[in-house]
Structure 1
Amino acid sequence: MTIEFSPLLPWIAIGVLAALALALAVVGLARRVRGTVFRALALAVVALALANPILSQEERAPLSTIVAVVVDRSQSQASPERRTMTDAALQGLKDRLAQFPQIEARFVDAADDPDTESPSTRLFTALNSALSDVPPARVGGAIFITDGQVHDVPDINQSLGFDAPVHALITGRPDEFDRRVEIVSGPRFGIVGEEQTVTYRVIDDGPTPAGQAQVTISLNGQEIARQPVTPGEDIPFRFTIPRGGNNILEVAVAPLAGEVTEANNRAVHVLDGIRENLRVLLVSGEPHSGERAWRNLLKSDAAVDLVHFTILRPPEKQDGTPINELSLIAFPTRELFVEKINQFDLIIFDRYQHRGVLPILYYDNIAQYVENGGALLIAAGPEHAGPDSIATTPLSAVLPASPTGSMTAKGFYPRLSDEGKKHPVTRGLEGADSEPPHWGRWFRTVDVDPPQGQTVMQAADGKPLLVLNRVGKGRVAMLLSDQGWLWSRGFEGGGPSVPLYRRIAHWLMQEPALEEEALTAHAAGRQLEIGRQTIKGDPGPATITLPSGRQEPVTLTEAEPGLYRTRIPTSEIGLFEIANGELSTLVHVGAVDAPEFKATVSTPALLQPWADKTKGLVHRVAAEGNAVDLPSILPVRGPVRVADKQRLSLRMTDETILKGVNSMPLFAGVLGLAALLLVLSATWHREGR
């Protein structure tokens, strides 16, 4: 309750009047004038009335004490046991806080940030956000429900912005242990066929059983090694890159019974295989218009080392003529087809016929080269339908089609077959979508029996034109026409000869991007993109195994003929396994060194310093069975000066809010008139005596 003044006249005028009244009173007292005291009182009452004193009284209500409860919903808290503990502790804490009406609890779930590729547990960031609009004097404390693995704990010398206890309710059990594996170092690129080294480490957290860990190493889904290793040591592993494009090396450590999580028991390292100067052997039967098209295509690629021979001098013409008098040299058959054949990435026979240049044994050698992983392309012409066809040699064992001995000679537009519209070698060729195709015609093909493998392009009357087939570990392609040069020369507008020939060559050399049956996945931020290439029809749904071990079905939608895709957001980070039929692939979402999986064993150590500094409590909630042990709440008036080892101390605020102000003028109305009449009457009474 306070008294304020709201003068009716300026203070200077009131001061002048008061001074005159005081002077009159002094003169009256000096001359002993009767009634001077009462006159002075009357003048004082008039001056006080002019000052207009007002009695004010505020109406205030107490404010609630704000307590922030931050719940750790990060991925390390996703195990069933910890999730159960967290939910039970949260519900128990709500019940206890509800018993205090003056406490206002703010509950905040702190989950992984979906916009970051390296998620971590950031509880103090969530705490600051929850209390950003709260004055420090109203904060009664902060309570964390977490496994203790917090990655944004501020330095102990920093300020939290409030003076109240910080408590932590720790999920998990004190005897937890975990085994994990991580890639220490490894190259991002490597030359195909050369040895590379990746270093990994198995790490044990907590009281793990003694002994070595069993590690399984897989490359592109195929197991290549098993190793017993000692946890804590850096283990170098050497391997050879088998193919170009993405190569996925997976290191998996055998799980321990009872460990916290198996989500970090596998690690992957992705490196791109680079082919160093592809070696191509082009063998032409005799000069023709299409020979230059093949040569120009292969010579235009700086990454191709081309060896090209046109055979014009059969062995029977090798006589005693001095070499310096010969216009042609003898074909180095033994060197190329025996000693160095395995050094070639691709062998092309362009309108070649068996003329005795290559002994029969060499054809068998080429067939073995294909069986062992080599690549062979047959560009057939009329010779392939004749009696000297290479289909009559041991090479026939790897050829996907046998000639009938006849040719079809009439104009036709090369067309994609139903398989060709789905096959990555021919799908999407420019001009293929129209009818007839928007490219030039060819005029002859070699007739063959029903071929093996996939016929991806057709000639006149639906006859095979381009046939692709797998043989053993290698691959064979047959182009049953020598008219492809018409496209490269621009006849009738030409056609996509360069992309077609290049795709055929890359498919033969087993580039992953051109596999006809493939399952791929890659991460774009926290989005998972899955692709399924097939020529067999709808592959059905895929199954995703999340890092937490949970499995989810995913529907694949056809984006192009033979290509099915889907894109899904992910709430977890880590190693995902995608399976569809017999195919499976791995992809890592988020940073491979994300803090969320570097340590998963629950611990009070990280939050204990802040609890000690603020007089808080760190308490494990695990109890017998599925129950949780929660401390009680202790409201404290004033600063918390002593930590309570059994209860959660909360500093209660004394802040209030102004609801209204009651004002009453003291000399207004009846009260002022009564005071003035009283002193005037007293003056008259005194003077009348």
Structure 2
Amino acid sequence: MTLGFSPFLPWSFLAVLAAVMVLIAAFAFWRRIRGAWIRALAALCLLAALANPVFMQEDRDQLSTIVPVIVDRSQSQQTPERIKMTNNALAALKDRLAQFPRIEPRFVDAKDPAEAESPSTRLFAALHTAIADVPPARIGGAIFLTDGQIHDIPGVNQALGFDAPIHGLITGHADEFDRRIEVVRAPRFGIVNEDQQLTFRVVDDGKSPGGSAPVTVRMNGDEIATLQATPGQEIPLSFKVPRAGNNVLEFSVPELPGEVTSTNNRTVQLIEGIRQNMRVLLISGEPHSGERAWRNLLKSDASIDLVHFTILRPPDKQDGTPVNELSLIAFPTRELFVDKINDFDLIVFDRYQDRANVLPMLYYDYIAQYVQNGGALLVAAGPEHASESSIALTPLSSVLPAAPTGQMIEKPFYPRLSDEGKKHPVTRGLDGADQEPPHWGRWFRSVDVEPPQGQTVMVGADNHPLLVLNRVGQGRVAMLLSDQGWLWARGFEGGGPHVSLYRRIAHWLLKEPALEEEALTATASGRNLQITRQTLGDNPGNATIKYPSGRTETVPLTQSEPGLYRAEKHMDEIGLFQIANGNLTTLVHVGAVDAPEFKAMISTTDTLKPLADKTKGLVTRVASNGGGVTVPPILPVRGAVRSADDQRLTIRMTDETVLKGINTLPLFAGFAGLAALLFVFAATWWREGR
């Protein structure tokens, strides 16, 4: 209760009036006038009445003590055991706090940032956000329910913004163990079929079981090595990039009993394969208008080393002319098809015919073996393919997908995509193919063939095969059954997409991953996962996503183009995902490979201990000996916390209050004040009357 004033007159007037009254009273006391003290008392009461003294009493309520509870929901906490332990401990903690009405808990689930590519456990950032609107004096303490793997812990001498205990309730067990594998150094690019070097290591966190760890290495799903690795020791690996484009190098180590998680037992390294120089052997038969189109296309690519021969002088034509006077050379058949045949990435026969036995029959068998063992062969056929000197009548026929009937189809036609061709990545989406007739120039002849093997992706007159693609053994063969492609190159009737078509054929023959007929690929951009399924069949159905945490999810694949199905999803986890559709699987890493969340997965009390010791807090594990959880009781403390309690969670109770209202009592208001004034003035009159 306090005393205040609410004067009826200005304070300056009251001050002058008080001065006059003091002078009069002093004069009266000096002259010893009778009744001076009564007159002074009456003047004082009048002055007090004009000053209007008021007693004020504040009505206040005690404020609650704010206790933020930060629950770690980061990815390292998403193992089944820790999820259960966290939920049970949180329920027990809520029951403990509910016993104290003046404690107001604020529960915050701290998750990885939705867009972070390299997420980390930032519990103190969540704490500061939770108490941003709270005065420091009202904070009674902070409780962290976590595995201890926190990546934004402030320094011991760094200000927290409040003076209250920091407590840690740690999930997990004290003797945890986790094995992980990581790539230390690796190239981002590699030249195809050349040796590359990479370094990896196996790391044991916690109590290591010792011994070596078997590491399986796979390249694009195929096992290439099995190594024994000593935990903590860097292991070098030599490998070759098998193809151009994206290559996935996967490392895996078996899961051990009692491991915290198997999420980090696998890792991948993406390596972009680059062809340094692609060697192409182009063999042309008799000169024709289309020969220049093939040569110009292959010569325009700086990454192609082209070896081009046109057969003008058969080997049996020996006329005794001195070698130094010859303008033509004999065809080096043995050097090309025996000694160096495996040095070529692609062999192209352009209107070639076996006239005058330029190649011995045995060499055609070598070419067939080259294809069977993984080589690539392109046959651009013309009228000679329907003649008696056709290469289809040699041992090369064992790898050719289409056998000629001996007839030519001589009529103008628009090359069209077949139903398979609309889905095949070699021909899908060619400019002008989506119109009827196609927005291309016409061709005028093609080779008639028996029903071909493989995929007929383009058709000519009367739907006869025009472009046939086939896999033979480990290699690939393409047959273009017309020599009229040069009309597109010359712009006849508007031309056509000959450059795109020829390049796609060559890249498919060279096994470019983007042109695989049946393929499942996945890429990540930030936290977004894109799944692409290429197929020549019908709808492939749903894709199954296996998360790093072990849970699975099914997503529908939606057709975006003929033969191409896609799905896109924003992921709430980071790490190595496995995508499956039918008998196809692929791996993709979402987020940064070196994200702090996977650097250490074992629980620990060491990270929070220094800060808890400084603030008189408690760090303890919630796991009990019986397999359940135990949460310490709450200890409310008035005033500053002077010492830590190793059995209870100390909470500093706040003394802060909130003002609800003020009760006032004027001393000279109403009958009491009037009676006092009348009394003193009556006493003055009584004294004057004596």
Is TM (by shorter chain) over 0.5? yes
Aligned to 1:82: 82
Paired residue type of 2:376: A
SS in 2 for 1:115: coil
Contact 1:85/1:626 (<8 A) preserved: no
Paired residue type of 1:515: E
Aligned to 2:5: 5
* Residues matched between the structures, number: 689
Aligned to 2:166: 166
1:105-116 pair list within 5 angstroms: 105-116=105-116
Aligned to 1:428: 429
Structure 1 pair 625–416 and aligned structure 2 pair: CA distance change class (3 A):
farther
Paired residue type of 1:169: L
Aligned to 1:629: 630
SS in 1 for 2:295: helix
SS in 2 for 1:264: helix
Deviates more, 1:320-329 or 1:92-101: 320-329
Paired residue type of 2:496: G
Q: Aligned partners of 2:232 and 2:25: how far apart in 1? A: 101
TM-score, length basis structure 2 = 0.99
SS in 2 for 1:289: coil
CA-atom RMSD in angstroms: 1.0
Paired residue type of 2:436: E
Aligned to 2:34: 34
Aligned to 2:364: 363
Paired residue type of 1:530: I
Contact 1:318/1:330 (<8 A) preserved: no
Contact 1:636/1:651 (<8 A) preserved: yes
Paired residue type of 2:260: V
User: How far 1:319 moved relative to its partner?
Assistant: 3.2
Which deviations, in whole Å up to 9, do the C-alpha atoms of 1:439-490 show, x marking residues without a partner? 1111100011111100000011111000000111111000000000111111
1:58-137 pair list within 5 angstroms: 58-137=58-137
User: How far 1:175 moved relative to its partner?
Assistant: 1.3
In structure 2, the gaps of 5 or more residues are: none
Q: Aligned partners of 2:73 and 2:221: how far apart in 1? A: 33
Paired residue type of 2:248: I
Aligned to 2:259: 259
SS in 1 for 2:292: helix
SS in 2 for 1:376: strand
Aligned to 1:51: 51
User: How far 1:323 moved relative to its partner?
Assistant: 2.1
SS in 1 for 2:290: helix
Q: Which runs of 4+ in 1 moved over 6 A?
A: none
1:332-351 pair list within 5 angstroms: 332-351=332-351
User: How far 1:543 moved relative to its partner?
Assistant: 1.5
Paired residue type of 1:191: I
Whether 1:139 and 2:139 are equivalent positions in the alignment is yes
Whether 1:25 and 2:25 are equivalent positions in the alignment is yes
1:552-571 pair list within 5 angstroms: 552-571=553-572
User: How far 1:667 moved relative to its partner?
Assistant: 2.1
Whether 1:311 and 2:307 are equivalent positions in the alignment is no
User: How far 1:326 moved relative to its partner?
Assistant: 2.1
1:422-501 pair list within 5 angstroms: 422-501=423-502
Q: Aligned partners of 1:13 and 1:558: how far apart in 2? A: 92
SS in 2 for 1:529: strand
Aligned to 1:157: 157
Paired residue type of 1:427: R
Aligned to 1:533: 534
SS in 2 for 1:21: helix
Deviates more, 1:230-239 or 1:364-373: 364-373
SS in 2 for 1:140: coil
Aligned to 2:648: 647
Q: Aligned partners of 1:335 and 1:405: how far apart in 2? A: 32
In structure 1, the gaps of 5 or more residues are: none
User: How far 1:625 moved relative to its partner?
Assistant: 4.1
Paired residue type of 1:163: D
1:180-219 pair list within 5 angstroms: 180-219=180-219
Q: Aligned partners of 1:302 and 1:380: how far apart in 2? A: 26
Q: Aligned partners of 1:270 and 1:37: how far apart in 2? A: 105
Which deviations, in whole Å up to 9, do the C-alpha atoms of 1:502-530 show, x marking residues without a partner? 00000000000000010000111111110
1:506-521 pair list within 5 angstroms: 506-521=507-522
User: How far 1:65 moved relative to its partner?
Assistant: 0.2
Which deviations, in whole Å up to 9, do the C-alpha atoms of 1:96-125 show, x marking residues without a partner? 100100000000001111110011111111
Deviates more, 1:561-570 or 1:661-670: 661-670
Which deviations, in whole Å up to 9, do the C-alpha atoms of 1:152-202 show, x marking residues without a partner? 111111011111111111111111101100000100001101111111000
Q: Aligned partners of 1:141 and 1:284: how far apart in 2? A: 85
Q: Aligned partners of 2:567 and 2:128: how far apart in 1? A: 38
Q: Aligned partners of 2:56 and 2:181: how far apart in 1? A: 73
Contact 1:544/1:579 (<8 A) preserved: yes
SS in 1 for 2:316: helix
Contact 1:441/1:492 (<8 A) preserved: yes
Paired residue type of 1:198: L
Q: Aligned partners of 1:177 and 1:619: how far apart in 2? A: 19
Deviates more, 1:660-669 or 1:144-153: 660-669
Identity of aligned residues (%): 70
Which deviations, in whole Å up to 9, do the C-alpha atoms of 1:320-367 show, x marking residues without a partner? 211232221222222222222111111110000002211112111111
Paired residue type of 2:414: Y
User: How far 1:289 moved relative to its partner?
Assistant: 0.6
TM-score, length basis structure 1 = 0.99
User: How far 1:668 moved relative to its partner?
Assistant: 2.8
Which deviations, in whole Å up to 9, do the C-alpha atoms of 1:350-386 show, x marking residues without a partner? 0000022111121111111111111110000000000
SS in 1 for 2:128: helix
Q: Aligned partners of 1:613 and 1:161: how far apart in 2? A: 14
Q: Aligned partners of 1:577 and 1:321: how far apart in 2? A: 68
Whether 1:665 and 2:677 are equivalent positions in the alignment is no
Paired residue type of 1:80: P
Q: Aligned partners of 1:535 and 1:22: how far apart in 2? A: 113
User: How far 1:55 moved relative to its partner?
Assistant: 1.7
Contact 1:542/1:580 (<8 A) preserved: yes
Which deviations, in whole Å up to 9, do the C-alpha atoms of 1:267-314 show, x marking residues without a partner? 100010001121111111011110011111111111111111111000
Which deviations, in whole Å up to 9, do the C-alpha atoms of 1:529-584 show, x marking residues without a partner? 10000001111212211111122222111111000100012111110111111211
1:254-333 pair list within 5 angstroms: 254-333=254-333
Q: Aligned partners of 1:450 and 1:24: how far apart in 2? A: 137
Paired residue type of 2:604: T
User: How far 1:627 moved relative to its partner?
Assistant: 1.5
Paired residue type of 1:630: V
Q: Aligned partners of 2:385 and 2:618: how far apart in 1? A: 87
Aligned to 1:387: 388
Paired residue type of 1:253: V
User: How far 1:60 moved relative to its partner?
Assistant: 0.3
Q: Aligned partners of 1:406 and 1:378: how far apart in 2? A: 17
Aligned to 1:586: 587
